[in-house]
Amino acid sequence: MNLWNPRSIAGKLTRLNLLVTGTALLLAYVAFLAYDLYTLRQDLISSLTTEAGIVGANSVTPLLFDDQQAAESTLSALKHSPHIRWAEIVSADGKPFATYRQDLGANLELSVKLAPDEKRQYWSKGANILMGSRIEFEGRELGAVYLLAGSGELTRRTGQFGLLSALILSLCFAIAVFATSTIRHLVTDPLTELAGTAQVVSRERDYSVRAPMPASSDELSFLVQSFNEMLEQIQARDRALEESRNALEARVRERTAELTEANKELEAFSYSVAHDLRGPLQHVANIAFLLQNSSTTRASAEDSELMEKLVEGTDRMGALIDDLLNLSRATSAPLRRTPVDLSKMAETILVNLQAGDKKRNVRIKVAQGAHAMVDEGLIGVALENLLNNAWKYTSRLEEAEIEFGYREEAAGTVYFVCDNGAGFNPRYADRLFKPFQRLHAQSDFPGTGIGLATASRIIARHGGKIWAEGEVGKGAVFSFTLPYAAEN
């Protein structure tokens, strides 16, 4: 029962109802009582006036002829007026002449008297009224009569009014309760159900629930209907959203699969091309080698020069094919991370480079202690490409410098390969890592244009970044990161 709960609308309505009825009733009670008491008083005064007049008229001869008995018998007629508690006739000299008491207890000493010029006067104290009236006969004052009216009637009326008001108030309360239960049916119950539905929706995000329609058709049913329609729209939109998302995902999956397939085919194709090219090339190289070293046929100088160029060509083509295969492998080979000492790896590569070209004077600097969790084979290829690159572009210098190092940064360890070689135009820095893009002429620095692209791809496969800084003639710095989050 939420009739009294001030947090419910029904409770509020009940309280309001009772407050209004109670106030109205109280005001009515006070107003009616005041009016009734006023009327009663006026009636009492008027009746006292009449009675005083009658008593006065009947007291003329008793006063004239000094007959107290007659005066008292006149007064005794007042017993028919229950409101008169006490009466007294005083003679002209102010002495009591005859007295009447309603009961033995009623007693009064007159403390007020009519002034000589007053014919009639009344005094009231509380609910008591004292009426004084002059007795005259033929223009001569004989005495006065005083009547005291009591308050019994006034008290009785107040009580009756109170009782009646209490009855009406309880009736109003019953009506208020009845009205509230009606309101509950018509207003509060549908509202409560609506509120419950809204709560379910907001808490469980379940848009399939519906608020029950109230029986009556009014603003409430309109509200419930609108609410339900809103839910329906939300549900429809939700469904459409999910459908389109599902479709999108399906399409993405489809496209990815297609792309992966195409990529694989492409890689398989380039791999097989590179691989299959190797056989015939080796054949050509072998024959060229045989021709060069044949003792039976003496080749002319021109021939031997051509032969040399042929061998050189096959070497370059072999290198290109290797690079292509490396690039292909860098993309497709699975990543197997193991702890690798990069410093040692760099040192080995540089020592090999030095051993391959002993004429060059290159100052080599390798910072020790560069460790990383990487795929050793792939990182080896990347590092080789970067160091080869540095070796190649410092080849024209008398005093070349190549450094492998690393530094700790907030984002992680940054490894770098630094040289003081030919450098590059920073405007084209973004082209450096694209396959077959070269910033230098083949005649200046020979190359396949695949090395940096391969390195970049390997770093990318490790989840790292690679970037280059440099200027023409002032060397270059290739930096890269190899982030490793301890997977699983």
> Which residues here bind other proteins, judged by CB under 8 A?
60-67, 70, 85-86, 91-94, 102-103, 105-116, 123, 125-126, 128, 130, 137-138, 140-142, 148, 150-152
Of 115 and 410, the one with the shorter C-beta distance to other proteins is 115
Measured from the CB of residue 134, what is the shortest distance to other proteins in angstroms? 11
How many degrees, rounded to 5, is the angle at CA 142 between CA 136 and CA 148? 85
Total residue length of the chain: 488
Of 82 and 463, the one with the shorter C-beta distance to other proteins is 82
Measured CA to CA in angstroms, residue 421 lies from 362, 416, 436, 441, 474 at distances of: 11, 15, 21, 15, 6
Measured from the CB of residue 75, what is the shortest distance to other proteins in angstroms? 14
C-alpha span between 475 and 424 (Å, rounded): 8
Strand partners, 414: 407, 481
Measured CA to CA in angstroms, residue 402 lies from 284, 372, 385 at distances of: 37, 21, 14
Of 103 and 219, the one with the shorter C-beta distance to other proteins is 103
Of 110 and 320, the one with the shorter C-beta distance to other proteins is 110
Of 76 and 282, the one with the shorter C-beta distance to other proteins is 76
Contacting residues for 483 by C-beta, under 8 A, at least 6 apart: 412, 462, 463, 464
Of 132 and 214, the one with the shorter C-beta distance to other proteins is 132
Measured from the CB of residue 145, what is the shortest distance to other proteins in angstroms? 14
Measured from the CB of residue 108, what is the shortest distance to other proteins in angstroms? 4
Question: What are 339's two structure tokens?
Answer: 């702890």
Measured from the CB of residue 143, what is the shortest distance to other proteins in angstroms? 9
Measured CA to CA in angstroms, residue 310 lies from 287, 289, 299 at distances of: 10, 9, 14
Measured from the CB of residue 173, what is the shortest distance to other proteins in angstroms? 32
Handedness of CA 444, 445, 450, 455 (dihedral sign): negative
C-alpha span between 393 and 418 (Å, rounded): 11
Measured from the CB of residue 105, what is the shortest distance to other proteins in angstroms? 3
Of 4 and 123, the one with the shorter C-beta distance to other proteins is 123
Of 140 and 427, the one with the shorter C-beta distance to other proteins is 140
Question: What are 108's two structure tokens?
Answer: 């009064």
Of 141 and 376, the one with the shorter C-beta distance to other proteins is 141
User: What strands, in cross-sheet order, belong to the sheet with 120-125?
Assistant: 96-101, 84-91, 140-149, 128-137, 120-125
Contacting residues for 76 by C-beta, under 8 A, at least 6 apart: 100
Measured from the CB of residue 116, what is the shortest distance to other proteins in angstroms? 5
Measured from the CB of residue 99, what is the shortest distance to other proteins in angstroms? 13
Measured CA to CA in angstroms, residue 369 lies from 7, 13, 209, 264, 413 at distances of: 73, 82, 65, 38, 12
